[in-house]
């Protein structure tokens, strides 16, 4: 019974991945750094990710993406997707490797946490976001380590108990060659993302993390240049690099308002 349900889930997941990937690269002007993140999360979360993409990111009509993703709950959703893509990918890859060696669960979790945090911080946060923030790699690391630490801990708080409880009751699921393993990974990613949402909402609201964006606004990051400069200077005391993303003139279709500057 469960095997049949899992096969159906993964069939829907395959459809979801194809749809999201096609729509992102053909129709929806999501900022470039978020496109692979959405695809990675859809690989793990399948129809759940597809549903979130449809209600929270997909452009409903041409030229409306900026307004569509503006609500704070959608901004926070974008932050969670980016978090889950990096942290979740690191955890799942590490789990699929350690599972082949039959390590104790405690050691597994330590390795998986380290892999998730490292991939999330060094690649998905500092490397992928440094140009958008207009910072060097080192500056980006210093600015993003705390948000990544908070995101990773909240992600692990949801994902790890799910894995431990379900795998303890089904030893077959400990092996990455089992369909049950991948079903538990999928469920763990979904629950981890749900638990991570509140802290990401809080961080986006306070300018500690970027939310959902659109490439039309800046061509890169989907945020107001003036607001980004102010946030970087206020939160880190560091000035954007010459030639960095924050030194590019804002696109004429997006101009910061007094309320935006005040909110930052």
- Ordered per-residue pLDDT tens for the chain, 264 residues: 688 999 999 999 999 999 999 999 999 998 888 999 999 999 999 999 999 999 999 999 998 998 899 999 999 999 999 999 999 999 999 999 999 998 899 999 999 999 999 999 999 999 988 877 778 899 989 989 999 999 999 999 999 999 999 999 998 889 999 999 999 999 999 999 999 999 999 999 998 888 887 776 543 334 454 555 555 556 555 554 444 444 433 334 344 455 544 544
CA distance 219 to 46: 29
SS (H, E, C) 161-186: HHHHHHHHHCHHHHCCCCHHHHHHHH
First-last CA distance in the chain: 52
Answering whether pTM is above 0.75, one says yes
The maximal CA–CA distance of the chain, rounded, in angstroms, is: 59
pLDDT computed for residue 213 by the predictor: 79
Domain with 257 in it: 2-38+46-56+73-263
**Residue linked to tokens 């708080």:** 157
Residues 252 and 262: beta-carbon distance below 8 Å: no
- Of 218, 223, 216, the closest CA to residue 79 belongs to 223
Residue 256 lies in a domain: yes
Tokens representing 62? 């041409």
pLDDT computed for residue 225 by the predictor: 46
- Helix and strand numbers (H, E) in the chain are 11, 0
Residue 30 lies in a domain: yes
Domain count, the chain: 1
| Dihedral over alpha carbons 164, 209, 199, 112 (to 10 degrees) | 10
Whole-Å CA distances, 142 to 57, 118, 154, 199, 232: 29, 14, 20, 19, 12
pLDDT computed for residue 211 by the predictor: 86
Half-sphere exposure of 56 (CA within 13 A, CB side): 21
Tokens representing 118? 């490292």
pLDDT computed for residue 260 by the predictor: 46
Residue 62 lies in a domain: no
Residue 21 lies in a domain: yes
Angle subtended by helix axes 34-56 and 179-205, to nearest 10: 80
Residue 222 lies in a domain: yes
Tokens representing 139? 């500056």
């Amino acid at each position: 019974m469960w095997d049949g349900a899992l096969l159906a889930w993964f069939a829907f997941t395959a459809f979801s991945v194809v749809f999201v990937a096609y729509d992102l690269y053909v129709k929806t002007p999501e900022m470039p750094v978020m496109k692979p993140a959405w695809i990675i999360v859809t690989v793990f979360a399948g129809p759940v990710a597809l549903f979130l993409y449809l209600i929270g990111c997909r452009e409903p009509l041409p030229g409306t993406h900026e307004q569509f993703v503006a609500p704070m709950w959608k901004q926070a959703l974008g932050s969670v997707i980016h978090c889950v893509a990096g942290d979740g990918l690191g955890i799942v890859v590490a789990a699929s490797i350690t599972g082949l060696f039959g390590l104790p669960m405690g050691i597994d979790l330590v390795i998986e946490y380290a892999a998730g945090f490292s991939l999330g911080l060094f690649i998905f946060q500092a490397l992928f976001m440094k140009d958008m923030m207009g910072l060097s790699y080192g500056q980006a690391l210093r600015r993003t380590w705390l948000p990544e630490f908070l995101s990773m801990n909240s992600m692990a708080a949801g994902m790890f108990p799910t894995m431990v409880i379900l795998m303890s009751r089904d030893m077959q699921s400990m092996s990455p060659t089992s369909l049950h393993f991948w079903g538990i990974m999928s469920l763990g990613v979904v629950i981890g993302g749900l638990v991570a949402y509140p802290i990401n909402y809080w961080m986006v609201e306070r300018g500690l993390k970027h939310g959902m964006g659109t490439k039309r606004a800046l061509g890169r990051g989907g945020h107001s240049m003036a607001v980004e400069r102010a946030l970087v200077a206020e939160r880190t005391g560091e000035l954007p690099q010459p030639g960095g993303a924050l030194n590019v003139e804002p696109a004429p279709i997006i101009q910061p308002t007094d309320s935006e500057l005040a909110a930052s």
